[in-house]
Amino acid sequence: MKRADVKRRTAEGVMFDTQIMANPANTAEWIVFFKKDAGRSFFLVDAAEQVESFASLDELVIELRAVGIKRLEVQL
């Protein structure tokens, strides 16, 4: 799911079960996983539909706040 979609849906009142986890391809980076009802789940992706990864957990939290995420879980 792209940032704009997350921002739009959170503005509409949609609540996501948001998780931050280590990127399996590079454990020095973080990725975002959104779970939604009915078993649907999404990764945060860029404009090219590639899963986004972040080197800094602090920067990632700032990004998620900007799109309306208020609650998340970090998996180490």
Q: What is the pLDDT of residues 27-68, one digit of tens each?
A: 999 999 998 777 789 999 999 999 999 999 999 999 999 999
Backbone angles phi, psi at 42, to 5 degrees: -145, 150
- Cα separation, 72 vs 64, whole angstroms: 9
Q: pTM, whole model, 2 decimals?
A: 0.87
pLDDT at 69 over 80: yes
